[in-house]
Amino acid sequence: MAIKANELRLLDELSLQKKLVDLEKELMIETTQVKAGGRAPNPGKIKTIKKAIAVVRTIIHERKLNIKREVKKTVVKPKEETVKKETKNEVEKKDA
């Protein structure tokens, strides 16, 4: 659920406002569950929602102040295959 700032910077103002409202509603639901005595199914979710709200608010504020940030294009590199080293037991089994 982690929201990346680069993805949010591509959205327009209306979409950001909608995203902020949705996140605040979701936070309200999670916190009321905890305050009502129930146990949150995912305790870390509240923290990630708060961080996402902070990111959205930061981007909205940057736009009000006309602060331009470059949107970084992330390149996903394929993982290299790792060669497994043989353990002593495996070497002994081969020799036997």
Q: What is the pLDDT of residues 55-69, one digit of tens each?
A: 999 999 998 898 877
pLDDT of residue 51: 94
pLDDT of residue 22: 96
Boundaries of domain holding 20: 5-64
* pTM exceeds 0.75 for this model: no
Q: Is residue 51 part of a domain?
A: yes
Q: Is residue 27 part of a domain?
A: yes
Q: Is residue 21 part of a domain?
A: yes
Q: How many domains does the chain have?
A: 1
User: What CATH number does the domain containing 21 carry?
Assistant: 1.10.287.310
Q: Is residue 80 part of a domain?
A: no
Q: Is residue 43 part of a domain?
A: yes
Q: What is the pLDDT of residues 29-38, one digit of tens each?
A: 999 888 888 7
Ramachandran class of 76: left when φ > 0, alpha when ψ lies in -120 to 50, beta otherwise = beta
Q: Is residue 59 part of a domain?
A: yes
Print the SS3 string covering the chain.
Answer: CCCCHHHHHCCCHHHHHHHHHHHHHHHHHHHHHHHCCCCCCCCHHHHHHHHHHHHHHHHHHHHHCCCCCCCCCCCCCCCCCCCCCCCHHHHHHHHC
pLDDT of residue 35: 86
Q: Please answer whether residues 9 and 61 qualify as being in contact, where contact means their C-beta atoms are separated by less than 8 angstroms.
A: no
